[in-house]
Copies of this chain bind each other. A is one copy, B any other.
Amino acid sequence: MYEIFRQYLDTKIKLTADESLKIQECAIIKKVRKHQYLLQEGDVWKYDAFISKGCLRTYAIDERGDEHVIGLGIENWWIGDRESLLSGNPSKFNIDAVEDSELVLFAHQNFEKLCMDIPAFGNMVSQILQRSFIASQNRIQAALSYTAEEKYRSFLEKYSVFATRIPQNMIASYLGISPETLSRVRKSVSKKH
């Protein structure tokens, strides 16, 4: 439903009725069922996508056939493959639904036009991009410095919302550890309390 996105916008920026309408006119509502792909490796990603309901993951598959969860997103997050979007090259990633989900999509050209025409909107988008970048930097730091247990603890601190909704094997993959190790870490963490 578009309503969720409207509410999200309201919390972030002030828009005139006209601007608000312009944005809505570009929006495409998309539903995906659990396990359904939003993007498959090899396809070109052409949208800016807001999650209004549910939960999705971005993952890559390496030569050994192992999956690596690159990103996770729930309500009020944005998702997509900016590399494919920007370069026009086929994506290296898959995005699929962890739960039945709903998204608000914008064709990227329309989206860029909205950013140009509505400065408040453009600024919001660039804010989001900045925060995504900062989050990646922090994730890199965690990947470089943390033990398996520290990775899990800091994940819980930041993203406790995810912890209950996402299967453990995906969390393990997101953290760069094996599901077995995550299971053991969880056991030892819970014992300590």
Binding site for B on A (CB under 8 A): 60, 62, 66, 68-71, 82-83, 86, 92, 126, 129-134, 136-141, 143-145, 173, 176
Known contacts A136-B137, A136-B140, A130 near B70 by CB under 8 Å? no
> Which residue in B70, B82, B145 is a CB contact (below 8 Å) of A133?
B82
Question: Hey, which chain B residues are within 8 Å of A60, CB to CB?
Answer: 141, 145
**Main SS of the interface on chain A?**
helix
Please measure, in the bound complex, the distance between the C-alpha atom of A71 and the C-alpha atom of B92, giving whole angstroms.
Answer: 23
Using A60-B141, A144-B173 as known contacts, list a sample of 8 further A-B pairs with CB atoms less than 8 Å apart, ordered by residue number in A.
A66-B145, A68-B141, A69-B144, A70-B144, A83-B134, A129-B133, A133-B136, A136-B136
Question: Hey, which chain B residues are within 8 Å of A92, CB to CB?
Answer: 141
Question: Hey, which chain B residues are within 8 Å of A134, CB to CB?
Answer: 82-83, 86
The answer to whether B86 and A176 have CB atoms under 8 Å apart is no
